């Protein structure tokens, strides 16, 4: 029963008692839950200490049947915690503090020590197929122990048997197909077909793995299958747009080979299309402009070569923060190799613009320091009636043990 005093509802004694009792029960439940959490956390800590001890035991190579049984308990313990949706314990803030993948891997290693290869491969497959909120995406280390075991076999047939067994249990892991691609018998006629098929599957399953693209490119380049190599590169630059290596290789492939000591119009058209359609990072356009400059130069389109070389140089300057150019023989450094300076200098020279070519020749001499660079600069200095310059070049080259001819003599 409630009372109304001056327009306000006043709870009765019975209602006050009920409210007080509910608060008391809630406090008791919270206290009990807190004690439960403490006990569960203590149990988790003991389980993780036990796991550390088992890890040391396996690392020493002294696993026993009891070791595997203990790991069975830890695996079951962690599987329950990492189950989809969690458990009542996780909802209370209790977590196992360890990775289920680590537990599978340790049990696999223990089984190997007991010659249980089938059981070990099954656990390794679980490592690669289990979603573990405590660890995140698969990393290279998740494959290390499995691949070390497979590689320990003396024969190719044994390695193939093991990798086939894991693929059967984990058919959605691209790196397994990459590994198997290296195990096909190269004495059979279908060697390249099987290798390429595995690499194509690996790329489909794991399109973010750069080393799979590199392996596929190596195969197609050896087979001289340029179209398939280009298809791999097109996929690589879509999936990994920040990886400059694939843009560099793709630009080389699009440029194509020289015919009669000159690049072709077809190469020019392919590079132009790549530049027009490229949605890549600006720094990666460097390669396409650089290669198109070389094609334009070979086609005697000197103004276009100068324009492309200048764009490449401007991009490199902006992206490298003014870092000096790198030599011709540094193909893995995108930041402004001296190639565009060479094509721009030679294009200026072909147009009779010797004064404009000289700063680029200075960079070639400073960065490469080859005898031919000194001689070429000396030749242009002579054309500009700078008689003293070639003498200085001759003396500077001799200091580095390089003999050059003075073109003014």
Model confidence over 266-321: pLDDT tens digits?
Answer: 999 999 999 998 877 777 888 999 999 999 999 999 999 999 999 999 888 887 76
| Average pLDDT of the segment spanning 33-59 | 80
Average pLDDT of 5-26?
A: 51
Structure tokens at 169: 């249990």
Provide the token pair at 126: 């679980």
Three-state DSSP class for 183?
Answer: coil
2 SS3 class = coil
- For residue 251, pLDDT beyond 80: yes
Query: CA angle, 70 as apex, 173 and 85 as ends, to 5°?
Result: 50
- The region of weakest confidence among 120-134, 245-259, 344-358 is 120-134
Q: What is the CATH number of domain 172-240?
A: 1.25.40.10
The answer, yes or no, to whether residue 409 has pLDDT greater than 60, is yes
CB within 8 Å of 401: residues ≥ 6 apart: none
Phi-psi region of 160 (alpha: psi -120 to 50; beta: other; left: phi over 0): alpha
Distances from the Cα of 70 to the Cαs of 50, 51, 98, 269, in angstroms?
9, 9, 15, 66
Burial of 174 (0-12, 13-18, 19+ CB in 10 A): buried
Q: Measure the CA–CA gap between 171 and 159, rounded to whole angstroms.
A: 17
Kindly indicate the confidence band of residue 99, based on its pLDDT and cuts at 50, 70 and 90: confident
Q: Is residue 322 classed as helix, strand or coil in its secondary structure?
A: coil
Are 325 and 333 in contact by the 8 Å Cβ rule? The answer is no
Distance of CA 115 to the CA centre of its chain: 35
**Which phi-psi region, left, alpha or beta, contains residue 115 (left: φ > 0; alpha: ψ -120 to 50)?**
left
pLDDT of residue 37: 67
Q: Is the pLDDT of residue 5 over 60?
A: no
* Residue with more model confidence, 138 or 341: 341
Residues 6+ apart with CB under 8 A from 196: 216, 219, 220, 223, 228
pLDDT of res. 28:
52
Per-residue pLDDT at 20: 52
Q: What is the pLDDT of residue 16?
A: 46
Q: Point out which residues pair with 5 in neighbouring strands.
A: 8
Q: Backbone phi, then psi, for 256, in 5-degree steps?
A: 80, 175
Block residue for tokens 């030679």: 346
Give 35's pLDDT tier (boundaries 50, 70, 90).
low
User: What is the pLDDT averaged over residues 177-206?
Assistant: 87
Segment 117-148, tens digit of pLDDT: 999 999 999 988 887 665 667 777 888 889 99
């Amino acid at each position: 029963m409630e009372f109304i005093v001056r327009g306000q509802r006043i709870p009765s004694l019975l209602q006050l008692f009920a409210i007080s009792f509910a608060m008391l029960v809630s406090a008791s439940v919270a206290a009990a839950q807190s004690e439960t959490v403490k006990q569960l956390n203590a149990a988790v800590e003991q389980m993780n200490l036990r796991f550390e001890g088992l890890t040391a035991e396996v690392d020493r190579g002294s696993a026993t049947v009891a070791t595997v049984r203990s790991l069975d308990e830890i695996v079951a313990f962690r599987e329950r915690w990492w189950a989809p949706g969690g458990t009542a314990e996780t909802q209370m803030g209790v977590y196992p503090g360890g990775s289920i993948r680590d537990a599978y891997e340790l049990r696999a290693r223990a089984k190997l020590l007991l010659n249980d290869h089938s059981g070990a491969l099954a656990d390794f497959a679980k490592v690669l197929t289990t979603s573990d909120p405590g660890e995140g995406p698969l990393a290279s280390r998740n494959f290390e122990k499995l691949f070390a075991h497979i590689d320990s076999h003396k024969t190719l047939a044994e390695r193939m048997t093991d990798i086939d067994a894991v693929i059967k249990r984990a058919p959605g892991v691209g790196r397994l197909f990459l590994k198997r691609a290296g195990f096909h018998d190269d004495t059979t006629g279908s060697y390249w077909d099987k290798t390429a098929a595995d690499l194509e599957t690996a790329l489909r399953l794991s399109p973010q793995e750069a080393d799979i693209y590199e392996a596929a490119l190596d195969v197609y380049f050896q087979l001289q299958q340029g179209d398939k190599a280009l298809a791999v590169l097109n996929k690589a630059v879509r999936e990994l747009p920040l990886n400059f290596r694939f843009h560099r290789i793709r630009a080389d492939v699009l440029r194509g080979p020289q015919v009669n000591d000159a690049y072709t119009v077809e190469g020019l058209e392919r590079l132009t299309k790549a530049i027009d359609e490229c949605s890549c990072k600006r720094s990666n356009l460097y390669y396409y402009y650089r290669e198109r400059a070389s094609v334009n130069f070979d086609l005697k389109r000197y103004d276009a070569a100068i324009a492309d070389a200048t764009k490449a140089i401007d991009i490199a300057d902006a992206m490298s923060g003014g870092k000096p150019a790198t030599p011709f023989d540094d193909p893995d450094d995108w930041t402004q190799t001296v190639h565009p300076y060479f094509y721009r200098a030679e294009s200026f020279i072909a147009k009779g613009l010797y004064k404009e070519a000289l700063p680029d020749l200075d960079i070639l001499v400073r960065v490469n320091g080859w005898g031919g660079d000194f001689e070429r600069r000396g030749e242009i200095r002579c054309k500009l009636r700078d008689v003293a310059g070639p003498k200085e070049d001759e003396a500077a080259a001799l200091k580095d043990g390089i003999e050059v001819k003075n073109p003014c003599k």
